[in-house]
Amino acid sequence: MSRDPESLDEMEQKDLAAFCQASITLKKAYDLVQDFLSMVHKREGHRLEIWLEQGTPSNLSELQSFATGVERDKAAVQAGLTWWINNGVVEGLVTKVKLIKRQMYGRASFALLRQRVLHAL
């Protein structure tokens, strides 16, 4: 349901079409998920309010729960869907430092850890 429909092979497309024909609820869920993913990929934060109006009254408890969580932190979600700025690089560096730290757990001093981190970055 969260994959790009164009990336599906022929059999998966047929299965998806059959599932969506069999259940109106599933079709609505699929459309809402694809619409949200489109907003994420195209950075269309201005469409968030419209999506929330469609997702909140749906009969799907999972989507209602997701929409409620998005509504609670709407400003941050809208900023994330609009701005090109993110902290991905910083998070990647933090992950690398934590990996080095775990590899050295209990084996060496802080000075060696510092040298390995500086050398890795």
- Where are the chain's structural domains? 5-82, 88-120
Joined tokens for residue 80: 């994330």
On the question of pLDDT at 15 being above 80, the answer is yes
**For residue 109, what pLDDT is reported?**
87
| Mean pLDDT along residues 39-47 | 91
Contact status, residue 26 vs residue 55, Cβ threshold 8 Å: no
In whole angstroms, what is the distance from residue 95 CA to residue 101 CA? 10
Residue 108's alpha-carbon distances to 31, 98, 116, 119, in angstroms, are 54, 15, 11, 16
Which structure tokens are listed for 23? Answer: 């259940």
* pLDDT: which is higher, 57 or 22: 22
**Selected residue with higher pLDDT from 21 and 86:** 21
pLDDT attached to residue 120? 84
* Residue 117 exposed, middle or buried by CB count within 10 Å (0-12, 13-18, 19+): middle
- What value does the mean pLDDT of the chain take? 88
Torsion of Cα atoms, 13 then 15 then 10 then 37, to 10°: 30
Over residues 54-95, the pLDDT tens digits come to: 877 777 888 888 888 999 999 999 998 998 888 888 999 999
